[in-house]
Copies of this chain bind each other. A is one copy, B any other.
Amino acid sequence: MKSVVPVTVVEIKTACSQCNLRELCLPFGLDPGEVNQLDELVGSRRKIKRQQHLYRSGDSFEAIYAIRAGSFKTDVILEDGRDQVTGFQMTGEVLGLDGISTEQHSCNAIALEDSEVCVIPFGRLEELSRQVESLQHQFHKIMSREIVRDHGVMMLLGSMRAEERLAAFLLNMSQRFTARGFSPSEFHLRMTRDEIGSYLGLKLETVSRAFSRFQDEGLVAVQQKHIRILDTPGLKRILNHHTA
């Protein structure tokens, strides 16, 4: 039976028009005819195994990538070896926007688990978005959203204490899982304590201690990478109730 399944079925299944992520991704706000045009643009898909690079800092920039399955981290590395995780990306999110400015990528994108991305050749995206107003606008929104997100991280790194940072991180993850149809209160983190720490500007021991404290206070149940949020308002209170 398997051999009679036509290849085209697979093709259709992976097209934007059939993708269950289209409400989160580049096709958002496009009408069906426009999504079909986008389908033609998204030439290929690429599978990336856990711990492998989608691109590296210095690679020449040719395409942006929409995450179809799995998740990634992006990081920047200094000459002296220090590195900073600049973000964690989930399905439907777009990677590679950093490369537009100099035609070279300025960070590394690494899969946190076996993953798959849609390759969107950037020249053709610019071409199509000159024709399709809604695509142009959605693309601009995605770039702007990235800027706003980065400002939030700057706020977090610049003026929050360790437990506030972790609370903000957990609430953000919860919200993003929710947007993807998963439980808001129970999820599996794909990154290590060290990676969370790098993202939050903390050492892994501090992250671990903050998790333990949250657990002691009944805010979350932590079992390694499996997180259950028990008291969302409590976490939010940690964020706002800055007693200084």
Contacts and interface: CB of A to CB of B under 8 A. Distances in A.
Interface of A: 76, 78-80, 82-84, 86, 97-102, 106-107, 126, 129-131, 133, 136-137, 140-148, 150-155, 157-160, 198-201, 240-242
B153 A84 contact: no
A154 B242 contact: no
A151 B126 CA distance: 24
Nearest to A242: B80
A3 B80 CA distance: 62
Query: Chain A: interface secondary structure?
Result: helix
Q: How many copies does the complex hold?
A: 2
A205 to B, nearest CB: 16
Contacts of A200: 158
A133 to B, nearest CB: 7
Given A101-B144, A129-B130, 9 more contacts: A76-B151, A78-B155, A78-B240, A86-B151, A100-B140, A146-B147, A147-B147, A150-B153, A154-B154
Contact of A159 (B84, B97, B142): B84
Contact of A143 (B100, B102, B137): B100
Given A126-B136, A137-B126, A98 B147 contact: yes
B150 A151 contact: yes
A151 B106 contact: yes
A107 B79 CA distance: 33
A202 B130 CA distance: 44
B147 A97 contact: yes
Contact of A141 (B78, B101, B144, B242): B101
18 contacts: A76-B154, A84-B154, A86-B154, A98-B148, A100-B144, A101-B148, A106-B148, A107-B151, A126-B136, A126-B137, A126-B140, A130-B130, A140-B143, A143-B147, A147-B150, A150-B153, A157-B201, A158-B199
A83 B242 CA distance: 12
Nearest to A131: B130
Contacts of A155: 76, 78, 82, 84, 86
Contacts of A79: 240
